[in-house]
């Protein structure tokens, strides 16, 4: 009996969802004819074939890895993937496991199909993308909207002489336009974005729609945030930076590329010379020129020193370039709304959700003194985070997980070797084509991707091939060693000469601190990170052993659960 798992997909939410039902119907007809048995069905709705990072596809790959299937079946190869690299990798993975890839259109997929159809599908994907970009650029050049609808505007419905709707038309929404003008005027008059936001939320003014936020279920109503107003001047985001409010339509300020490892899109700023010229849209003006310039002048005065180039991938955001000023900077959150707890006054910390968005968003107005919080956290580190009754359970679980990861690394060695051979073959094919005169620029992105994958596979194979005796990873008296060292750290924290070193070590032990109002007081719940604890307690023999432990094992964290509660404790 041939066990078959079906897969179906369509690309965008503009397509008919019934497309999936049609694909599955055609596939099941073929299964009946072949006498095969369906054991699973995975689908992806409105998902691009440019990446394998799709929920349905990942579920299918999971079934393959568990050995639950003999045949992977789809309506056509382009339903599975339009990426040459992805479809080839999937084919090799299935062939290594002795499985069959088949489609209703191509039949049993062979290496010839992978080479020919993979190239055709990739070219179709590239051509479709280019046609879409060209169509949007033409719409922009005609003075129409090529993208989403900004706050203050709505779609305008008109029809041409053939009764077809004219796309890309917009109109001003008077109620939202008044809010935009108000924000510009209050900011130009010296009001901070935080204060503007608190006023808007207190008055119940609906905020702009957010695609990401609207897709998530939340008990909290949508609210204005300071970033909605300030945005990013370099990228032209945020209400204060939208040139359309002055009657000029921008386009292609950014370009997007997908990360092949994660499948996620990343934005990159386009150079000024590569951007299309602004197109006049006088009927969409909301903000007068004098008010716009006043806002730009104030933004320039508030700018913090020289700014890094926005398209420099190595440039870090401002906050990431600063050393934490307080022991728990960036680690505190409000237990009521999830916002960060940060400096609120000279020596106190408070909920930023309540402070910036108002009490309608979060009613937690309790603050805590910095010295009181530090003292309670330091006491908790020394007394609560590693009790003997939990330590025995953790050592057993940690050792079992470490052994599992070591065995998994060895088991995956043959599969990595097969994939490496395939990658080397692809690189060889591309090099041969270049030597024969094919333009090398056509393969730049593919060579970079294959080169990175080749290095990663080589590293994994070399690591898995190293045979070392299983080390004793944890100190036999870990709890005692831990308490002694934390006691020394807390003492050093009070010593001005040693404070800087102790500061960093103590921060590494703390993963998160949640402050929740209970009966008019703040309850403090803290979570610690085991990787840092193990490093703190490590002796010379353990430090050597840690080099052969995988990074995944060292990143295991204790969270609330059977036998592990004391690591997440209340102070």
Which pairing describes strands 37-44 and 3-9: parallel, antiparallel, or unpaired? Answer: parallel
In a domain, 122, yes or no: yes
293-310 pLDDT tens trace: 999 988 888 876 544 444
397 vs 20, more confident: 20
Range among 20-34, 129-143, 555-569 rated most confident:
20-34
Distance, in Å, from the CA atom of 12 to the CA atom of 57, rounded to the nearest integer, reads 16
Same domain, residue pair 238 and 275? yes
Beta strands at 568-570 and 153-155: parallel, antiparallel or unpaired = unpaired
Residue 479 lies in a domain: yes
Asked whether residue 500 falls in the same domain as residue 370, the answer is yes
Q: How many domains does the chain have?
A: 4
Which residues in 50-92 belong to E strands, given as ranges?
71-74
Q: Which residue has the higher pLDDT, 214 or 77?
A: 77
Higher per-residue confidence, 213 vs 32:
32
Residues 218 and 100 in one domain: no
Residues 89 and 10 in one domain: yes
Confirm if 197 and 224 have CB atoms less than 8 A apart.
yes
Give the whole-angstrom CA distance, residue 61 versus residue 90.
Answer: 9
SS3 204: coil
Whether residues 353 and 454 fall in one domain: no
- Indicate whether 131 and 169 sit together in one domain: no
Q: How far apart are CA 339 and CA 362, in angstroms?
A: 9
Domain final residue pick, 421, 447, 465: 465
Range with the lowest mean pLDDT among 133-142, 272-281, 317-326, 504-513? Answer: 317-326
Range of the domain at 429: 406-465
- Claim to verify: residue 442 and residue 498 sit in the same structural domain: no
Both 442 and 501 in a single domain?
Answer: no
Domain boundary, last residue among 107, 135, 163: 135
Do 306 and 352 share a domain, yes or no? no
Q: How confident is the model at residue 166, as a pLDDT? A: 79
Mean pLDDT of the chain: 75
CATH number at residue 91: 3.40.50.1390
Q: Tokens standing for 175? A: 């109620």
Q: Do 264 and 180 share a domain, yes or no?
A: yes
Render the burial of 262-298: b for 16+ CB within 10 Å, e for the rest.
Answer: ebeeeeebeeeeebeeeeebeebbbbeeebbebbeee
Contacts 24+ apart (CB under 8 A), 309-312: 310/232, 310/234, 310/235, 310/269, 311/268, 311/269, 311/270, 311/271
State pLDDT tens for residues 368-378.
Answer: 888 888 887 77
Q: Which residues pair with 3 in a beta bridge?
A: 37
Per the domain annotation, does 400 fall within a domain? no
Tell whether 23 is covered by a domain.
yes
Read off the pLDDT of residues 425-444 as tens digits, 9 standing for 90 and up.
888 888 887 887 777 777 77
Predicted local distance difference test score (pLDDT) of residue 71:
93
Q: For residue 110, tell me if it sits in a domain.
A: yes
> How much is the pTM?
0.43
Residues 377 and 479 in one domain: yes
Contacts of 547 (CB under 8 A, 6+ apart): none
Whether residue 143 contacts residue 104, with contact meaning beta carbons closer than 8 Å, is answered with no
pLDDT in tens, 341-356: 988 887 889 998 888 8
The reply to whether 140 falls in a domain is no
Cα–Cα distance measured from residue 39 to residue 69, given in angstroms and rounded to the nearest whole number: 7
| 256-280 residue pLDDT tens | 666 666 656 666 666 666 666 777 8
User: Domain for residue 186, yes or no?
Assistant: yes
What pLDDT, on a 0 to 100 scale, did the predictor assign at position 384?
59
- Write the DSSP string, 129-155: HHHHHHHHHHHHHTT---S---TTEEE
- Given a cut of 90, is residue 179 above it in pLDDT? yes
Domain shared by 379 and 411, yes or no: no
């Amino acid at each position: 009996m041939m066990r078959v798992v079906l897969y179906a997909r369509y690309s965008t939410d503009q397509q008919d969802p019934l497309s999936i039902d049609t694909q599955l119907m055609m596939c099941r007809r073929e299964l009946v004819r072949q006498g095969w048995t369906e054991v699973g069905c995975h689908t992806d709705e409105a998902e691009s074939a440019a990446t394998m990072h799709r929920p349905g596809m990942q579920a299918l790959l999971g079934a393959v890895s568990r050995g639950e299937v003999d045949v992977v079946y789809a309506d056509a190869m382009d339903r599975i993937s339009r990426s040459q690299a992805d479809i080839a990798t999937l084919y090799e993975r299935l062939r290594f496991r002795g499985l069959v890839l088949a489609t209703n259109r191509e039949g049993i997929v062979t290496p010839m199909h992978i080479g020919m159809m993979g190239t055709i599908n990739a070219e179709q994907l590239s051509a479709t993308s280019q046609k879409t970009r060209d169509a949007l650029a033409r719409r922009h050049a005609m003075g129409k909207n090529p993208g989403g609808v900004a706050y203050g505007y709505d779609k305008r419905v008109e029809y041409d002489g053939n009764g077809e709707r004219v796309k890309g038309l917009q109109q001003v929404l008077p109620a939202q336009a008044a809010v935009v003008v108000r924000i510009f005027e209050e900011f130009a008059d010296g009001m901070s974005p935080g204060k503007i936001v608190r006023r808007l939320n207190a008055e119940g003014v609906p905020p702009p729609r957010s695609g990401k936020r609207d897709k998530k279920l939340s008990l909290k109503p949508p609210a204005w945030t300071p970033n909605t107003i300030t945005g990013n001047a370099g990228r032209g985001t945020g209400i204060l930076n939208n040139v359309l409010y002055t009657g000029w339509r921008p386009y292609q300020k950014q370009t997007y590329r997908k990360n092949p490892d994660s499948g996620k899109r990343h934005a990159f700023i386009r150079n000024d010379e590569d951007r299309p010229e602004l197109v006049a849209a006088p009927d969409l003006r909301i903000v007068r020129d004098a008010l716009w310039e006043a806002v730009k002048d104030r933004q320039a005065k508030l700018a913090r020193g020289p700014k890094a180039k926005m398209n420099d991938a190595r440039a870090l955001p401002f906050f990431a370039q600063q050393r934490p000023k307080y022991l728990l900077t960036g680690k505190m959150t409000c237990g009521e709304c999830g916002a960060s707890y940060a400096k609120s006054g000279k020596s106190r910390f408070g909920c930023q959700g309540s402070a910036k968005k108002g009490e309608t968003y979060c009613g937690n107005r309790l603050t805590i003194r910095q010295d009181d919080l530090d003292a309670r956290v330091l006491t908790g580190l020394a007394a609560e985070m590693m009790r003997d009754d939990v330590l025995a359970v953790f050592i057993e679980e940690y050792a079992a997980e470490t052994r599992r990861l070591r065995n998994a690394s060895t088991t995956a060695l043959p599969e990595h070797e097969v994939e490496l051979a395939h990658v080397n073959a692809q690189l060889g094919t591309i090099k041969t084509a270049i030597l024969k005169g094919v333009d090398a620029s056509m393969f730049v992105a593919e060579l970079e991707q294959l080169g990175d994958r080749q290095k990663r596979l080589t590293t994994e194979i070399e690591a898995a091939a190293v045979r070392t005796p299983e080390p004793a990873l944890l100190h036999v008296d870990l709890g005692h060693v831990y308490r002694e060292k934390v006691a020394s750290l807390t003492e050093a924290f009070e010593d001005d000469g040693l404070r800087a070193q102790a500061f960093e070590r103590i921060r590494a032990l703390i993963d998160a601190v949640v402050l929740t109002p209970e009966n008019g007081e703040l309850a403090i719940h803290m979570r610690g990170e085991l990787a840092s604890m193990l490093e703190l307690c490590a002796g010379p023999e353990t430090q050597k052993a840690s080099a052969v432990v995988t990074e995944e094992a060292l990143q295991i964290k204790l969270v609330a659960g059977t036998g592990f509660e004391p690591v997440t404790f209340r102070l």
